[in-house]
């Protein structure tokens, strides 16, 4: 990590932290070419010295003892604001009652703010503690110097520095004045507390935002108000890279409250985070803007993507997995093993596109002020948002401020700042603060879609029924296609989500990735390709059990194999991506996967419940460094399955905030029921066919189990992900339960399409 530094007082004034005696932040070396001297030569010293700056504190302590901790990541329902600041306070020795949160803006000074990939705890657990530990060491150093005692004889607890031998104590407030005069220790010398001293964590933590969220006080993207603010609603091309051929603004301008009708710049491939173009109606209020858009008469040139038909494309994907693809993982000789097999089992699985559909459709307020721009946005990626706004407006990014509001759900959609750039461009065009408001139809029809895919498996069994061969092919348009032209295959980051990292105790296997081109914006949605892999593989393993008349749990445990730690060579890959984490810290450990499978089936009373006639389905998956197993029980209700009970066991290593982790598992079960039963986005003539919750259905309250059992495995392993790993096993467990109930194997989602 970069160096930790004291924050200059002038910056604290600007942040409203003028009362702080002491504040620490991370030093950040700015990117960009070194500045040239007038003689044309680069001055290396100037470029490095001038590049180091720090102005946004993580921790500020005022002389009255008030501690302010920055919540620097996006709060989108995972409870990050109720978790990470507690971690820092605990490491510091602060009393949470004297700690207040400050929602940080988007700024590299905070390091990584990309709230994505279930990383908030797993990737920042140690770094955030180091910042707090640095502050603690400086408080101790200042006090020890004054008392003329060894710093090692002082402790920071209960919001004070204490010296037990002399029974002296100094409050954090008083100590902060001394700490401000001390040198900042080198981060390499910073020592973390033993975890046993982190007494506030690893339990249920108070939900700090629950009150504001239950009283309508929490502010989301569309809730910020500025004087003179206008509202824009945009008619975007129905097909990606379609263009406006012609339009008549007059009928829209005739509507009361409409101020302006403007054409948006058309994007150029690849999509990246560019707005989609179209025509914007800027009005005095949302209603007028919406009416204005309805009145617009636009002729579109749909462009090359108009040929896309996602139902027909299903056949393209299936053709792709029926042919040889690029080998992405292999071990042994699968062709010989398949040829020698006594029994072969083959199956193909298909999943549709999905839309994120957060309850808050994208919305953003921007205020362009000539040489600067201020933005209020529900964004998972405030730094990307800042970069993109700066680029679109031609501003230095230091002139762009991105304030993070609460996110009314995100699931990956709000990691893409296209809607934020729209607001910035429109504020410039309107000469006023502008809120861009997406409608639900905009959200469903102009998303970054979860990729549709096909998976094909061929397994061979020997005379004893042991699986000796496993050939797996998958094809799906890649997320990379959104960011580069000419992409035809999946990226390593997508393939690692099951295809190249799921443990298999099969002596011969080969995984192949087939060609698949994108015709819409493909993006990441909660759990990403793990949803698809886990559904396909989790269903297939259940099919293998049926083929061998085995208990599905025994089959799953046999495929996962004995307790062991897998190397890249064992996985049959050159390098395991492992979600960016080193394998020695976060090994692929089948003992942990086995344990969640064994535990969840124990909780569900798997064997006797099945014997007594209940319809249970099981699936398990490792993703984002955590291990999750799910059992779903269904009852058939007028020919339709209803989940009456579900069990989920998660091993996510050390869990800081048990309550929010359980909430994420509850959410995963329900999100999973929705997508398994109903979720499908289809495109015809290049345009999305669905538009609102009547045709893009998500789970309603009546569809969720009356009994849900959640267990977090007690673990001292480093923290894994929480927000995403619960979701992948849900759909296959449900499909397997439906098979148990009906004898019907459904190999395509959503299930309701086949019921």
Partner 1 sequence: MITVTINGKPQDLDVDPEMPILWVLRDVLGLTGTKFGCGEALCGACTVHLDGDVIRSCVTPIRHADGKKLTTIEGLSEAGDHPLQKAWVELGVPQCGYCQSGQIMSAAALLVKKPKPTDQEIDQSLAGNLCRCGTYIRIRAAVKKAAGV
**Residues within the interface to partner 1 (CB under 8 A):** 75-79, 207, 209-220, 222-223, 225, 231, 256-257, 285-287, 290, 357-361, 406-411, 437, 439-441, 659-660, 663-664, 666-671, 692-694, 698-702, 704-706, 708
CB of 441 to partner 1, least distance (A): 8
CB of 208 to partner 1, least distance (A): 10
Whether the Cβ atoms of residue 185 and residue 6 lie closer than 8 Å to each other: no
Closer to partner 1 by CB, 225 or 398: give it: 225
CB atoms within 10 A of CB 327: 12
Whether the Cβ atoms of residue 393 and residue 373 lie closer than 8 Å to each other: yes
CB of 212 to partner 1, least distance (A): 8
Classify the phi-psi angles of 79: left when phi > 0, otherwise alpha if psi is within -120 to 50, otherwise beta: left
CB of 363 to partner 1, least distance (A): 8
CB of 408 to partner 1, least distance (A): 3
Whether the Cβ atoms of residue 650 and residue 661 lie closer than 8 Å to each other: yes
CB of 677 to partner 1, least distance (A): 13
Q: Cα torsion for 137, 138, 140, 146, to the nearest 10°?
A: 150
- Six-digit token string for 159: 């919001």
Closer to partner 1 by CB, 18 or 206: give it: 206
Closer to partner 1 by CB, 490 or 668: give it: 668
Closer to partner 1 by CB, 306 or 660: give it: 660
- Six-digit token string for 3: 């160096």
Burial readout 23-55 (b: 16 or more C-beta within 10 A, e: otherwise) = bbbbbbeeeeeeeeeeeeeeeeeebeeeeebbb
- CA-atom Rg of the chain in angstroms: 28
The DSSP bridge pattern shows strands 508-513 and 467-475 to be parallel
Closer to partner 1 by CB, 135 or 733: give it: 733
CB of 702 to partner 1, least distance (A): 5
Whether the Cβ atoms of residue 680 and residue 453 lie closer than 8 Å to each other: no
- Six-digit token string for 693: 């919750």
CB of 68 to partner 1, least distance (A): 23
Closer to partner 1 by CB, 44 or 227: give it: 227
CB of 593 to partner 1, least distance (A): 24
Whether the Cβ atoms of residue 452 and residue 538 lie closer than 8 Å to each other: no
CB of 529 to partner 1, least distance (A): 20
Closer to partner 1 by CB, 306 or 356: give it: 356
Closer to partner 1 by CB, 360 or 512: give it: 360
| Cis peptide bond prior to 270, omega within 30° of 0 | yes
Closer to partner 1 by CB, 564 or 658: give it: 658
Closer to partner 1 by CB, 235 or 487: give it: 235
Whether the Cβ atoms of residue 172 and residue 136 lie closer than 8 Å to each other: no
Closer to partner 1 by CB, 237 or 408: give it: 408
Closer to partner 1 by CB, 219 or 372: give it: 219
Residues 282 and 258: their CA atoms lie apart, in Å, by 6
CB atoms within 10 A of CB 334: 23
DSSP letter for 640, please. Answer: E
CB of 284 to partner 1, least distance (A): 8
| Element holding 170 (H helix, E strand) | strand 168-171
CB of 490 to partner 1, least distance (A): 27
Closer to partner 1 by CB, 439 or 682: give it: 439
Residues 264 and 150: their CA atoms lie apart, in Å, by 65
CB of 440 to partner 1, least distance (A): 4
DSSP letter for 347, please. Answer: E
Burial readout 95-107 (b: 16 or more C-beta within 10 A, e: otherwise) = bbebbebbbbbbb
Closer to partner 1 by CB, 57 or 408: give it: 408
Alpha helices in 585-634 (DSSP H): 590-603, 606-611
Strand-pair partners of 607:
none
Q: What is the 3-state secondary structure (H, E, C) of 474-513?
A: EECCCHHHHCCCCCCCCCHHHHCCCCCCCCCCCCEEEEEE
CB of 616 to partner 1, least distance (A): 19
Angle, helices 172-179/125-147, rounded to nearest 10 degrees:
90
Taking alpha carbons only, the member of 49, 546, 57 closest to residue 345 is 546
């Amino acid at each position: 990590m970069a160096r930790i530094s004291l924050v200059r007082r002038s910056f604290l004034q600007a942040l409203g932290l003028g009362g702080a005696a002491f504040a620490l932040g991370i030093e950040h070396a700015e990117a960009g070419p070194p500045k040239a001297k007038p003689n044309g030569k680069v001055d290396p010293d100037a470029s490095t010295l001038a590049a180091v700056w720090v102005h946004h504190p993580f921790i500020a302590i005022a002389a009255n003892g008030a501690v302010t901790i920055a919540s620097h990541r996006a709060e989108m329902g995972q409870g990050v604001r109720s978790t990470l600041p507690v971690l820092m306070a605990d490491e510091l020795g602060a009393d949470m009652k004297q700690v207040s949160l400050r929602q940080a803006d988007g700024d590299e000074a905070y390091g990584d703010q990309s709230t994505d990939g279930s990383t908030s705890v797993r990737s920042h657990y140690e770094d955030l503690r180091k910042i707090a530990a640095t502050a603690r060491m400086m408080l101790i150093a200042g006090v020890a110097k004054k008392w003329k005692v060894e710093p090692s004889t002082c402790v920071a607890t209960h919001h004070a520095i204490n010296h037990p031998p002399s029974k002296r104590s100094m409050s954090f407030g008083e100590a902060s004045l001394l700490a401000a005069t001390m040198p900042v220790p080198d981060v390499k010398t910073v020592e973390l507390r033993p975890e046993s001293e982190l007494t506030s964590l690893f339990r249920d933590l108070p939900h700090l935002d629950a009150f504001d969220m239950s009283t309508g006080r929490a502010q989301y993207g569309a809730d910020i108000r500025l004087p003179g603010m206008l509202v824009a609603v945009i008619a975007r091309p129905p097909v990606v890279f379609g263009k406006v051929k012609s339009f008549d603004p007059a009928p829209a301008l005739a509507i009361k409250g409409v101020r302006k009708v403007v054409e948006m710049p058309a994007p150029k491939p690849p999509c990246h985070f560019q707005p989609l173009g179209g025509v914007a109606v800027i009005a005095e209020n949302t209603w007028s803007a919406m009416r204005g858009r309805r009145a617009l008469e636009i002729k579109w040139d749909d462009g090359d993507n108009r040929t896309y038909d996602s139902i027909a494309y299903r056949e393209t994907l299936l053709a792709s997995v029926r042919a040889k693809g690029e080998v992405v993982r292999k071990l042994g000789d699968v062709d010989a093993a398949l040829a020698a097999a006594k029994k072969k089992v083959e199956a193909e699985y298909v999943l549709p596109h999905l839309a994120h559909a957060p309850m808050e459709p994208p919305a953003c307020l921007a205020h362009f002020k000539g040489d600067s721009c201020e933005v209020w946005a529900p964004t998972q990626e405030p730094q990307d948002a800042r970069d993109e706004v700066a680029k679109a407006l031609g501003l230095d990014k230091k002139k762009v401020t991105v304030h993070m509001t609460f996110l009314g759900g995100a699931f990956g959609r709000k990691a893409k700042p296209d809607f934020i750039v729209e607001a910035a461009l429109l504020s410039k065009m309107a000469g006023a603060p502008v809120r861009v408001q997406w409608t639900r139809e905009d959200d469903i029809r102009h998303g970054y879609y979860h990729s549709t895919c096909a998976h094909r498996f061929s397994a061979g069994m020997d005379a004893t029924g042991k699986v000796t061969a496993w050939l797996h092919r998958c094809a799906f348009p890649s997320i990379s296609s959104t960011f580069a032209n000419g992409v035809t295959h999946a990226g390593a980051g997508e393939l690692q989500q099951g295809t190249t990292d799921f443990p298999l105790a099969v002596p011969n296997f080969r995984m192949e990735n087939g060609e698949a081109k994108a015709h819409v914006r493909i993006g990441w949605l909660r759990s990403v390709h793990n949803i698809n892999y886990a559904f396909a593989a989790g269903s297939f393993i259940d099919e293998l059990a049926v083929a061998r008349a085995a208990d599905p749990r025994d089959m799953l445990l046999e495929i996962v194999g004995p307790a062991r730690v897998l190397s890249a060579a064992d996985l049959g890959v050159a390098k395991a991506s492992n979600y960016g984490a080193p394998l020695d810290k976060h090994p692929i450990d089948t003992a942990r996967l086995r344990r969640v499978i064994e535990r969840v089936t124990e909780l569900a009373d798997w064997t006797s419940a099945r014997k007594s006639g209940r319809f249970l389905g099981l699936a398990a998956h490792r993703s984002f460094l955590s291990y999750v197993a799910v059992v779903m029980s269904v009852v058939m209700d007028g020919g339709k399955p209803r989940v009456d009970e579900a069990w989920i066991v998660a091993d996510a290593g050390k869990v800081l905030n048990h309550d929010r982790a359980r909430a994420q598992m509850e959410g995963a079960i329900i999100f999973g029921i929705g997508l398994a039963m109903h979720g499908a986005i289809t495109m015809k003539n290049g345009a999305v066919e669905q538009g609102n919750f009547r045709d893009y259905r998500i789970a309603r309250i009546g569809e969720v189990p009356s009994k849900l059992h959640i267990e977090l495995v007690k673990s001292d392993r480093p923290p894994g992900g929480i927000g995403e790993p619960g979701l992948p096993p849900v759909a296959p467990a449900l499909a397997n339960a439906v098979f148990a109930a009906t004898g019907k194997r459904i190999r395509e989602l959503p299930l309701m399409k086949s019921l």
